[in-house]
Amino acid sequence: MKSFTGFLKNPLVLGILVGVVGIGLGLLWGWVIQPVQWTDASPASLQSSYQEDYLRMAIDSYGLNGNKDLALKRWNTLGDAAKGSLAAIQQNPGSQNTSLVSQFSSIVNAGTGSSLPVSTPVSGVTSGKSGGSSLGRIVVIFLSVLVVLIVVIAAIKFLGSKGRRKSNTPTRLAGDLSRQVELTDYAAMGQEAPISHFVTTYVAGDDLFDDSFSIDSATGEFLGECGVGISETVGVGDPKKVSAFEVWLFDKNDIQTVTKVLLSSHAFNDPATFQRLKAKGEPIQVSAGQRITLETASLQMIATISEVGYGEGMLPPESFFNRLTLELAIWQKTVPNG
């Protein structure tokens, strides 16, 4: 129930549900509670069998009163269906007086094209078009409700699974972890507050992890950039098993970018890996709470390792990272004049 309530907070889900419920209630009201009923319908609106019955009664009535005008008036109320009904009676008169049918046919043939007004619709006649069987109506309602339920369930499952996939992605989880980090209060420690302060987190599965940040002065002047990215992996298969990261600092006033390599315990103690990564920057074995300083001509950055976790598997212990959170604090160094 809690997850369903969460779905309702999504405007798209809520809109779909409201629309579906509205359609369902409309069908229920229009077909069950207050269905459309046609009254005072013209004989032209009747089903063909009832139109034929109406014309038979008109013929019988003419035989009793001999009123030609009334006969033509009733003929005209059938509209285009009159000729077909008369032909059906002529082919199958049944108990109808054939002589009377012939007389009625002669009258309407002689009166064809006359401008006699159409009579007022016969009160109380119900249109055959509205009178579908109750069973058919129930089947239609059942199928409509079934379709509505299928649409609702499919929408909830699709959006719910989409939301779960989105919420469980490594980058989404990394962002949540970064926001939970309590930044170091350097001012409370008696130091000058940094001009820039960032937090970045790697979570296993983010094979494209490469976070970078722009460093600006208090007045908005661009001073440089800093960041963290994957430097080395071990083993095979997906996701990648990251064994080392590069943390770097770029200063627009310096010709060289300063880089230090953060190694897992196993990578740091493996001579071949250590020597290979040493070419990228100073190798440092990662440990929680550790502070690493990078300096350029006019910038200083302290990278604090807020959290570190290792993955488990077939590889040696502490050989690759499951997660790593870094807090990056940058200061602008005072450059002496001259």
Any residues with CB less than 8 A from the CB of 71 and at least 6 apart, and which? Answer: 58, 59, 61, 62, 104, 107, 108
β-strand pairing of 258-263 with 282-285: parallel
227 and 248 together in one domain:
yes
Domain assignment present for 337: no
Quick one: pLDDT at residue 9?
A: 60
118 and 236 together in one domain:
no
220 and 324 together in one domain:
yes
145 and 283 together in one domain:
no
26 and 153 together in one domain:
yes
- Lookup: tokens for 39: 């009254």
Enumerate the H helices of 9-67 as residue ranges.
11-28, 48-65
Number of domains in the chain: 3
92 and 121 together in one domain:
yes
Domain assignment present for 213: yes
113 and 239 together in one domain:
no
| Burial of 31 per CB tally in 10 Å (0-12, 13-18, 19+) | middle
At residue 97's C-alpha, the angle toward residues 94 and 100, to 5°, is: 135
184 and 160 together in one domain:
no
182 and 198 together in one domain:
yes
Domain assignment present for 215: yes
Nearest to 71 by CA among 100, 40, 49, 93: 100
Quick one: pLDDT at residue 163?
A: 54
Quick one: pLDDT at residue 119?
A: 37
pLDDT per 10-residue tile (average), the chain, 338 residues: 54 71 74 70 79 85 85 84 84 85 85 45 41 62 74 70 64 91 91 94 94 94 96 91 96 93 96 94 95 95 95 92 96 73
- Lookup: tokens for 333: 């160094």
13 and 162 together in one domain:
yes
Domain assignment present for 188: yes
Question: What does pTM read for this prediction?
Answer: 0.53
33 and 47 together in one domain:
no
Domain assignment present for 338: no
Q: Report how far residue 302's alpha carbon sits from residue 258's, in angstroms, rounded to the nearest whole number.
A: 12
Quick one: pLDDT at residue 227?
A: 96
**Cβ distance 125 to 41 under 8 Å?**
yes
Domain assignment present for 102: yes
Quick one: pLDDT at residue 305?
A: 95
Quick one: pLDDT at residue 1?
A: 46
Question: Domain containing 226: what range?
Answer: 176-332
CA dihedral 186, 192, 197, 201 (to 10 degrees): -40
155 and 215 together in one domain:
no
Any residues with CB less than 8 A from the CB of 76 and at least 6 apart, and which? Answer: 82, 116, 118, 119
- Lookup: tokens for 216: 């600006």
The SS3 of residue 330 is strand
Domain assignment present for 30: yes
